[in-house]
A and B are shown apart, each in its own frame.
Chain A
Amino acid sequence: MSGVRVLVGTKKGAFICTSDGHRKDWKIEGPIFGGWEIYHMKGSPIDSNRIYVSQSSGWFGQIIQRSDDGGKTFATPGSTPEDLVSEMGWPQGESNKFVYDGVPGTHLWYDNTPHPWEFKRVWHLEPSLTEPDTVYAGVEDAALFKSTDAGRSWQELSGLRTHNTGKEWQPGAGGMCLHTILIDPMNPERIWVAISAAGCFRTDDGGKTWKPTNKGLISNFMPVPDAEFGHCVHRIASHPSKPDTLYMQKHWDVMRSDDGGDSWREVSGNLPSDFGFPIDVHAHEPETIYVVPILSDSEHFVPEGKLRVYRSKCGGNEWEPLTNGLPQQDCYVNILRDAMAVDRLDDCGIYFGTTSGEVYCSPDGGDHWNPINLHFPGVLSVEVQTLP
């Protein structure tokens, strides 16, 4: 029977949880990289043994780790003795070298003054759907990097940051991060990214040029609520079979696009709050989507002390709360933007982790929930690999 491997990034290390297809009994390994913040870890869709990890710390900066044996061992890419010596005899060791292309210039700071572009960390790693050694990294301050040597070295796709709007991008409360990377499974040259708080952008030429794709978004905190850019997009998601249909959880509002992001419409419908961070799509039902509303931008916890995942089976507007197995009183947690995932087993599993360290799994599309573990450090990211 096939199984799953859940990759959990936390504020204090990484954990790997494995189970068979029943997703009832779990083996938990970790902490890996104990004491470090693990913003994201994600497996290659081509090679399930390959896992990329973003490991960072306020003291020591950014580290990239890679496993080629399904998480049994990790190493910084290019750190074998033969890797480390270049033709010049100087160690390379550049897997954590994220340097902006050219003179970085400035973006706007919170107070509207120019602020130098400064690399802080990798928020999201997105392995290519087709090339085993290609992986993208979304970073703070917002930029997109690409590696074609499995993380040994990184080059910025600077057409995004140097877009003519880039000088006016501003950070959200969590920093100016590029947190979402969606690759079109039918056209690897077409990629969407989302930046807090610059909005959604799309390239149709593999990252050379980009266009803002924010038409239809309304952000009332902005001087021009329907501006071309500047929206605090929290996450976007799509189903592989319908790449033109995108779903978005924005700072406020759940949105939908059916034209590849060229235009958006609101589908918040009957949600108790349309503020939240994660959004994801059922593996086999392109119109079934999941969000976890929280109370507001000022109160980052679920409403009424009830942890409820909301599901829409019709692509938005009509939502139902999913509560079976989730705490329904005195619960005040948040779920961060990369902390929800779906597996691809026949009965699609849904997973999420909370800021209080709980990770839940629903093996039946959200109808019933069981904890994988209730006592991890605060969860930053959850990804799942469906194993053969």
Chain B
Amino acid sequence: MSSVRVILPYHLRNLAQVGQEITVQVDGAVTIGSILDAIELAYPVIRGTIREHGTLKRRPFLRFFACAEDVSMEGYDFVLPSEIGDGKEPFMVIGAIAGG
């Protein structure tokens, strides 16, 4: 079991009523998919907001970062660097900057 630090965007923190950083427990390989599963298990209100219900597609204005790398285009089975599973680095869900 790995304790994974996760940083959520401002509006999802408000929705889940959490602070800037949360910690979720991931069983087995630490992948993008297993972290998202763990987030949605711990905070069901977030289900459907990072990835769509049904298709499970990542919402297009959200990106995933791990160890300063954009891993958004990787599959959900992508195994993340050990620093994420060790809790040394957070897994980051970031909303695209848009507007004017």
Contacts and interface: CB of A to CB of B under 8 A. Distances in A.
Interface of A: 35-36, 57-63, 76, 79, 84, 90-94, 96-99
B95 interface: yes
A98 B47 CA distance: 12
Contacts, number: 60
Nearest to A33: B14
A93 B50 CA distance: 14
Contact of A59 (B9, B47, B54): B9
Interface in B37-72: 40-41, 44-50, 52-54, 59, 61-62
Contacts of A59: 9, 11, 59, 61-62, 95-96
A91 B12 contact: no
Given A35-B11, A96-B49, A96-B53, A60 B59 contact: yes
B15 interface: yes
Instruction: Name the 7 nearest CB pairs between A and B, nearest first.
Output: A93-B44, A91-B44, A60-B49, A97-B53, A93-B47, A59-B61, A99-B54
Q: What band does the interface of chain B fall in when counting residues whose beta carbon is under 8 Å from A?
A: 20 to 34
25 contacts: A36-B11, A57-B11, A59-B11, A59-B59, A59-B62, A60-B12, A60-B50, A61-B49, A61-B52, A63-B45, A63-B49, A76-B15, A76-B45, A79-B44, A84-B44, A91-B40, A91-B41, A92-B44, A93-B45, A93-B46, A96-B47, A97-B53, A97-B54, A98-B53, A99-B53
Contacts of A58: 61, 98
Contacts of A63: 15, 45, 49
Contacts of B59: 59-61
Q: Is the interface of A mostly helix, strand, loop or mixed?
A: loop
Interface string B4-18: 000001111001000
Nearest to A36: B11
A154 to B, nearest CB: 10
Contacts of B54: 97, 99
B47 A62 contact: no
Nearest to A83: B44
B27 to A, nearest CB: 14
A69 B53 CA distance: 29
Nearest to A92: B44
Nearest to A97: B53
Contacts of A62: 48
B10 to A, nearest CB: 8
B48 A61 contact: yes
B40 A93 contact: yes
A60 B47 contact: no
The residue in B48, B59, B62 that gathers the most chain A C-beta atoms within 10 A of its C-beta is B48
A97 B11 contact: no
